[in-house]
Amino acid sequence: MAIDLRLDINEVALLSDLYELTVSSALFARDMNEPAAFELALRRMPPNRGFMIAAGIERVLEVLEQLRFDAAAIAYLDSLQIFKPAFLDYLAKFRFRGDVRAIAEGEVFFAGEPILEIYAPLVEAQIAETLVLNQAGFAAMVATKAARCVGAAQGRRVVDFGMRRAQGADAALIAARSSYLAGFAGTSNLLAGLRYGIPVFGTMSHSFVMAHDSELAAFEAFSSSFAAPVTILADTYDTLRGVENAAKVAARLRESGAKLGGIRLDSGNLQALSIRTRKILDQHGLGETAIFASGNLDEYRIAELLAARAPIDAFGVGTALAVSDDAPAGDFTYKLVEYKGQPRLKLSEGKASTPGRKQVFRASAAAGGYIGDLVSALDESAVTVAKVLKAPPSQIKPILEVQMERGVRRLPRPALNEIRAWAAAAVARLDPRWRMLRKPVEYPVRNSAAIHAMIISEKVRADRRQL
Amino acid sequence: MAIDLRLDINEVALLSDLYELTVSSALFARDMNEPAAFELALRRMPPNRGFMIAAGIERVLEVLEQLRFDAAAIAYLDSLQIFKPAFLDYLAKFRFRGDVRAIAEGEVFFAGEPILEIYAPLVEAQIAETLVLNQAGFAAMVATKAARCVGAAQGRRVVDFGMRRAQGADAALIAARSSYLAGFAGTSNLLAGLRYGIPVFGTMSHSFVMAHDSELAAFEAFSSSFAAPVTILADTYDTLRGVENAAKVAARLRESGAKLGGIRLDSGNLQALSIRTRKILDQHGLGETAIFASGNLDEYRIAELLAARAPIDAFGVGTALAVSDDAPAGDFTYKLVEYKGQPRLKLSEGKASTPGRKQVFRASAAAGGYIGDLVSALDESAVTVAKVLKAPPSQIKPILEVQMERGVRRLPRPALNEIRAWAAAAVARLDPRWRMLRKPVEYPVRNSAAIHAMIISEKVRADRRQL
């Protein structure tokens, strides 16, 4: 018996808004299927974000390679009595055969620049829209949130504890993978551990303590159950008395040559409690026992705790990470920029798009730090770009790479740990002003003169399109 | 080849935090597997919420019936070198054989009362934790958000357009189903349409207009492509000129005996634009052509638009719904309340739990409106309850129903449309003060005297547990 909490490969093509297919069927019926370019971009930076981390790109590429409308999908679409048989036949044979240029997963990006371009027959590029937005958008939001937490933690370990509050099963998997990619030490999510090879972490539940008649007995039972050092949860009742009980257990463990890994504080004033906990542990000679904090943490709270010198060695971040709570959705768009070799734009109020196929060039200083990005037309010369970016060509790189040609991936699939290393290196190249947790300075992203000229000429042309 | 964007039935058991299994293995090794009761409850109401709608319960029940650790899961857990063979053998044979009492999906609920109780051997109830929270939490948040939008729309149709900004694939499915359950007319999500039989809606994309050399030609092409009346998207360039073009198409359609279904406004000042659009349509004698609005809408904006008499006939709500943007996660907890027949509680600062197994009684006025809830001990008499709630027993109902006994569902599985009807009836029973979009009055939820007494005695007992 199938359960609802599942997603089969053959269903993925229907993870689509109806209009993608109605529009496609109208285009198909008119043979309007010339090459088109659509761009994924972030319209504006989310609140307090000075940089974004790309994620979800690998999944998008994987799905595009596998996209199929199976018999059940076709039968369902037929039942809607919207689509003509010729279009349903086309869908039944549908394969994505387009080209994809995209930023590398783990790279930093900013609002106002394309991070993924699909260049394909119009209908193929249209059909990909909902999937691209759904998958690459949230993954980037949570990778970015995670990178901010890692930055705030100043080298201390941060672990994803968010699955229970994540928006469904897929979100929990995306959050675990994206946060690891962005520098988290691991996750509590076992399925993410299995799928992605991410280290899994866990401490102890309140229920375990509550089920025992004595807290001390619970701590002893737990710590003697495992060969490796465990982390004990101290706040089920009175936290500091819990810490005293944990210290007793640690002292006994030491006598037998074992040790306590850490103490977890999950509620109350973590700053005051961590200081008192550290004192108690040190009084018992337990300098090596770590303090692990959790409970409504996010990058802001972590920064506050460390600014107040809270002696916390590691952080568990749950809800705030898993739903990217101060920015649960990014303003990502997927817009047609060229059709039949001609630039296209929309002028909708507050939602205008930038026409034409593009490349984004990123300049670095000699020491490696990023300086700024230039959004250019596809055919602009390296000399022009170097002049505008005021950097030698050797310090300028195009960030959109050919990832897929005619539906086949061209670049080797990077391992998650490589992506993680790349993300760490990319964030390190950002000036601290762009990494500030609140009101960061805006990273310079400019349009080239050619792009500006195209915007002006396309506005005129768009005007004529309404006559 | 398997893709990452999928979820197989046999993976669902690993949608679990590591600590559920470490704790369970320590309990298992000590034969601490007596009956335990865990409760799912909302700790506090999310901002501006005066009521919540239960959702996700059906999925939880379905998953509990099917929960299995397959060979791959066992092999993975074994690879972690944490678990002893006897526990892995236990997991390999694991079946959920517990009892579940829960609120009906679609019913309203409030903070401070249990909405689902699992009563099972301690380890079984522990293992269910992450899944229960992940699935029932978000589903309720989005059902609640949707009910608020429906209330704000005052009888006008509201449609889910949120998939592209949802937090992954599962979130999009949950959002589509939960919003329909809470009164939305349908969704743009095709897979939700197929799975749940929800009506699917769609209009037209900006790209369709942009791909044509003339807006008028695009509108004509689109409207002539389908037998049923279509909705035209007017804001790709200048909105009011777009409306004029749409009106021309509508006039021509009328000549041939067809008609235009509606015009969609997706940007700009929707209040001003809808008034001017209505005027243009009426001037062309197109009184039957509806105005469909979308673009950064939520319950607050819908209410403002209607308060300003914007002549909008239907609303598309996307991002704000799909991520429940002003409250992306609810403060749901799953707490041990009884073990071996003894009440249990935790006292963690700001996170204390209420001990003991419970029933929630809801009183109604003679006319049907809900009056208030009483959280009582499981064995309290109907007479006591009626006295406290000041309502005759015939107007009091227990809201936790036995849904599952020894792992088998006991109540017939309701159809989605029945749940939807139930939700509409439940919301209608709420006083408008509790339904206010901002700063609603708090619905009365009280603990019975027996619960109060239990809290006091358990605090004393918990104190002793630390000695």
Best mutation target among B17, B165, B188, B419 (most A Cβ atoms within 10 Å) is B17
Contact B261, B290 (CB under 8 A): yes
Contact A17 B161 (CB under 8 A): yes
Residues of B in contact with A356 (CB under 8 A): none
* Per-residue pLDDT, A332: 98
Contact B46, B327 (CB under 8 A): yes
Let me know if residue B252 belongs to a domain: yes
* Per-residue pLDDT, A135: 97
CB pairs under 8 A between A and B: 422
Let me know if residue A23 belongs to a domain: yes
Contact B215 A350 (CB under 8 A): no
Residues of B in contact with A459 (CB under 8 A): none
Residue-range definition of the domain harbouring residue B174: 152-322
C-alpha to C-alpha distance for B150 and A383, rounded to whole angstroms = 57
* Per-residue pLDDT, A236: 96
- Nearest CA distance, B86 vs chain A (angstrom): 13
Contact B225 A169 (CB under 8 A): no
User: Is the Cβ of A167 closer than 8 Å to some Cβ of chain B?
Assistant: yes
Choose the closest CB to B14 out of A72, A194, A332: A194
Token pair 């799909």 in the structure block, residue: B322
User: Is the Cβ of A450 closer than 8 Å to some Cβ of chain B?
Assistant: no
User: Is the Cβ of B77 closer than 8 Å to some Cβ of chain A?
Assistant: yes
Identify the CATH number of the domain in which residue B110 sits: 3.20.140.10
* Per-residue pLDDT, A349: 86
**B window 6-25, beta carbon within 8 A of A:** 6-9, 11-12, 14-23, 25
Q: What HEC string does chain B produce?
A: CCCCCCECHHHHHHCCEHHHHHHHHHHHHCCCCCEEEEEEEECCCCCCCCCEECCCHHHHHHHHHHCCCCHHHHHHHHHCCCCCHHHHHHHHCCCCCCEEEECCCCCEECCCCEEEEEEEEHHHHHHCHHHHHHHHHHHHHHHHHHHHHHHHCCCCEEEECCHHHCCCHHHHHHHHHHHHHCCCCEECEHHHHHHHCCCECCCCCHHHHHHCCCHHHHHHHHHCCCCCCCEEECCCCCHHHHHHHHHHHHHHHHHCCCCCCEEEECCCCHHHHHHHHHHHHHHCCCCCCEEEECCCCCHHHHHHHHHCCCCCCEEEECHHHHCCCCCCCCCEEEEEEEECCEECCCCCCCCCCCCCCEEEEEEECCCCCEEEEEEEECCCCHHHHHHHHCCCHHHEEECCEEEEECCEECCCCCCHHHHHHHHHHHHHCCCHHHHCCCCCCCCCEEECHHHHHHHHHHHHHHHHHCC
Give pLDDT tens digits for B356-415.
999 999 999 999 999 999 999 998 988 899 999 999 999 999 999 999 999 999 989 999
Identify the CATH number of the domain in which residue A243 sits: 3.20.20.70
- Nearest CA distance, A137 vs chain B (angstrom): 7
* Per-residue pLDDT, A1: 53
* Per-residue pLDDT, B387: 93
- Nearest CA distance, B21 vs chain A (angstrom): 9
- Nearest CA distance, B400 vs chain A (angstrom): 22
User: Is the Cβ of B272 closer than 8 Å to some Cβ of chain A?
Assistant: no
Contact A200 B266 (CB under 8 A): no
Choose the closest CB to B465 out of A18, A171, A215: A215
**A window 332-351, beta carbon within 8 A of B:** 332, 334-336, 339, 344-351
Contact A9 B2 (CB under 8 A): yes
Token pair 């935790």 in the structure block, residue: B346
C-alpha to C-alpha distance for A39 and A375, rounded to whole angstroms = 13
Answer with the one of A298, A322, A346 that is the final residue of a domain. A322
Answer with the one of B303, B322, B341 that is the final residue of a domain. B322
Percentage of chain B with pLDDT > 90? 96
- Nearest CA distance, A49 vs chain B (angstrom): 17
C-alpha to C-alpha distance for A150 and A137, rounded to whole angstroms = 20
User: What single letter denotes the amino acid at residue B93?
Assistant: K
Which pLDDT band holds residue B351 (cuts at 50, 70, 90)?
confident
Let me know if residue A314 belongs to a domain: yes
Contact A335 B207 (CB under 8 A): yes
Mean pLDDT score, B151-161: 98
- Same domain, yes or no, for B79 and B159? no
Token pair for A150: 């890692």
- Same domain, yes or no, for B165 and B220? yes
Contact A5 B344 (CB under 8 A): no
- Same domain, yes or no, for A218 and A294? yes
- Same domain, yes or no, for B299 and B444? no
Best mutation target among B142, B159, B170 (most A Cβ atoms within 10 Å) is B170
C-alpha to C-alpha distance for A428 and A152, rounded to whole angstroms = 13
Contact B311, B278 (CB under 8 A): yes
Q: From B169, which residue of chain A is nearest by alpha-carbon distance?
A: A170
Contact B328 A332 (CB under 8 A): no
ipTM surpassing 0.95: yes
**B window 171-200, beta carbon within 8 A of A:** 171-174, 188-191, 193-195, 200
Give pLDDT tens digits for B284-307.
999 999 999 999 999 999 999 999
Give pLDDT tens digits for A42-76.
999 999 999 999 999 999 999 999 999 999 999 99
Query: With 90 as the cut, is the pLDDT of residue B1 above it?
Result: no
Q: From A241, which residue of chain B is nearest by alpha-carbon distance?
A: B466
Token pair for A31: 């043979």
Let me know if residue A52 belongs to a domain: yes
Choose the closest CB to B17 out of A21, A122, A202: A202
- Same domain, yes or no, for B80 and B172? no
Give pLDDT tens digits for A347-377.
988 888 999 999 999 999 999 999 999 999 9
User: Is the Cβ of B328 closer than 8 Å to some Cβ of chain A?
Assistant: yes
Kindly list the averaged pLDDT for each block of 10 residues, start to end, along chain A of length 467: 87 98 98 98 98 97 96 98 98 98 98 98 98 98 98 98 98 98 98 98 96 97 95 96 97 92 97 98 95 97 98 98 98 97 92 94 97 95 91 95 97 95 98 98 97 94 91
Contact A133 B188 (CB under 8 A): no
C-alpha to C-alpha distance for A455 and A449, rounded to whole angstroms = 10
- Same domain, yes or no, for B78 and B129? yes
User: Is the Cβ of B170 closer than 8 Å to some Cβ of chain A?
Assistant: yes
Contact A82 B228 (CB under 8 A): yes
Choose the closest CB to A66 out of B3, B21, B129: B3
Answer with the one of B299, B322, B345 that is the final residue of a domain. B322
- Same domain, yes or no, for A136 and A174? no
Q: From B201, which residue of chain A is nearest by alpha-carbon distance?
A: A18
User: What single letter denotes the amino acid at residue B96?
Assistant: F
Contact A14 B350 (CB under 8 A): no
Mean pLDDT score, B250-273: 95
Choose the closest CB to B211 out of A32, A66, A190: A32
User: Is the Cβ of B129 closer than 8 Å to some Cβ of chain A?
Assistant: yes
- Nearest CA distance, B262 vs chain A (angstrom): 15
- Count of domains observed in chain A: 2
- Same domain, yes or no, for A68 and A198? no
* Per-residue pLDDT, A176: 98
User: Is the Cβ of B448 closer than 8 Å to some Cβ of chain A?
Assistant: no
- Nearest CA distance, B396 vs chain A (angstrom): 32
Give pLDDT tens digits for B121-145.
999 999 999 999 999 999 999 999 9
Token pair for B331: 């403060």
User: Is the Cβ of A300 closer than 8 Å to some Cβ of chain B?
Assistant: no
Let me know if residue B378 belongs to a domain: no
Let me know if residue B390 belongs to a domain: no
Let me know if residue B2 belongs to a domain: no
- Same domain, yes or no, for A169 and A302? yes
User: Is the Cβ of A59 closer than 8 Å to some Cβ of chain B?
Assistant: yes
Choose the closest CB to A211 out of B77, B334, B344: B344
* Per-residue pLDDT, A48: 98
Percentage of chain B with pLDDT > 70? 100
- Same domain, yes or no, for B251 and B176? yes
- Same domain, yes or no, for B61 and B209? no
* Per-residue pLDDT, B349: 86
Contact A236 B346 (CB under 8 A): yes
Let me know if residue A149 belongs to a domain: no
C-alpha to C-alpha distance for B77 and B92, rounded to whole angstroms = 11
* Per-residue pLDDT, A118: 98
- Same domain, yes or no, for A223 and A252? yes
